[in-house]
Amino acid sequence: MSKKIAVLFLLIASATASAQIGGRYTYQFLNLVNSPRQAALGGKVITNYDWDPSQGLYNPASINPEMDNQLQINYVNYFADVNYGTASYAYLWDRRTQVLHAGVTYINYGQFDGFDEAGNPTNSFSGGEVALSAGYARNIPYTDFHVGANVKLISSKLEQYSSFGGAIDLAIMYVYEPWDLHISAVARNIGTQFTPFNEVYEPLPFELIFGISQTLQNIPIRWHFTLENMQVWNIAFENPNRSITDLEGGVVTENINFFDNAIRHMIFGLELFPESGFNIRLGYNVRRAEELRILEQRAFAGLSAGFGIKLNKIRLSYSYSQYSAAANASFFGLNIDLNR
């Protein structure tokens, strides 16, 4: 069973190896950060295997019995009056061995002023997108491997144009309890548009993610290491602002090498006191830092931080992510334990 799953991941990766990221796909909101906890740890952590049902939105293999009757609601006041959020819930059934997961992700782009081709003002309009998901995971018998899948229905409306589509996420996760070690791989957004915006069918933002995390022995710290966008190697690009003009007037462009591409796939995260009622989270997203870095100015792009606090049956989470000197985002989350 595990060999078949490994082969499936290889086939998916090879089928999309020529893809590029950024501006070439529809339903881009599917890959937005889905919780304050994930945002604080760098943006795409997939190796948490605990009570947090929002983790199931990104990695269905992480759906587990600890999520039973946990309701998570998250909200983000994003850039330029854009708002988005998620909600997720898990339920344990069938002799308390099977877990079902449901979630919703939405984004509201706000109001826009409309103009015709001559520049004359017309009616204002809005835009929004939503995805409904249902997930399920199970343990491969007699192993430490877990597999899971999400099925998503997607609706998008931008001005007078609308689209409807569907996608699935496939994931595998290895949980070795003696070492508190988690290793996972996720293939996200495998799907298509059922109805396009305007005759042309656009691809979905497929992504292959790999992650590993572990809690240190005798030290209340859990480290996270994530490799994002593994479906395509070349994600670095030459920044014209980093070109150098020599004394003869020649322009020397930025040299993108193997190391530049390798490091841009990496995300680092730390969770202090991960199992206590209060914990602190820190993250660093290398690609975000490099793409949004301002020359000769310290902007702390790529850094993120947050905390979580448990109050009886409620958990509150907050995180702050720095994108540039002029742009940042705050994430708010509320988890309610409905078992109590």
**Residue 18 lies in domain:** 2-112+123-337
Q: Per-residue pLDDT for 61 more than 60?
A: yes
What pLDDT is stored for residue 216 in this prediction?
94
Question: Is 277 a member of any domain?
Answer: yes
What pLDDT is stored for residue 256 in this prediction?
77
Q: What percent of the chain has pLDDT over 70?
A: 84
Confidence of residue 51 (pLDDT cuts 50, 70, 90): very high
Confidence of residue 80 (pLDDT cuts 50, 70, 90): confident
Residue 79 main-chain phi, psi, to 5 deg = -80, 150
Question: Is 48 a member of any domain?
Answer: yes
Overall number of domains in the chain: 1
- Quick: pLDDT tens for 163-180: 999 999 999 999 999 999
Question: Is 117 a member of any domain?
Answer: no
Question: Is 118 a member of any domain?
Answer: no
**What dihedral angle (degrees, nearest 10) is formed by the CA atoms of 53, 57, 60, 61?**
-60
- Quick: pLDDT tens for 2-46: 443 343 333 333 333 333 455 679 999 999 999 999 999 999 999
Reduced to 3 states (helix: H, G, I; strand: E, B; else coil), residue 7 is helix
**Global confidence as pTM:** 0.86
* CATH number of the structural domain spanning residue 231: 2.40.160.40
What pLDDT is stored for residue 5 in this prediction?
38
> Across residues 308-312, what is the average pLDDT?
94
Which residues lie below 8 Å from residue 101, measured CB to CB, with a gap of 6+? 53, 56, 60, 63, 67, 88, 89, 90, 91, 133, 134, 135, 136, 137, 150
More confident residue, 95 or 308: 308
> Across residues 107-130, what is the average pLDDT?
86
Q: Per-residue pLDDT for 265 more than 70?
A: yes
What pLDDT is stored for residue 243 in this prediction?
64
Question: Is 175 a member of any domain?
Answer: yes
More confident residue, 299 or 217: 217
Question: Is 205 a member of any domain?
Answer: yes
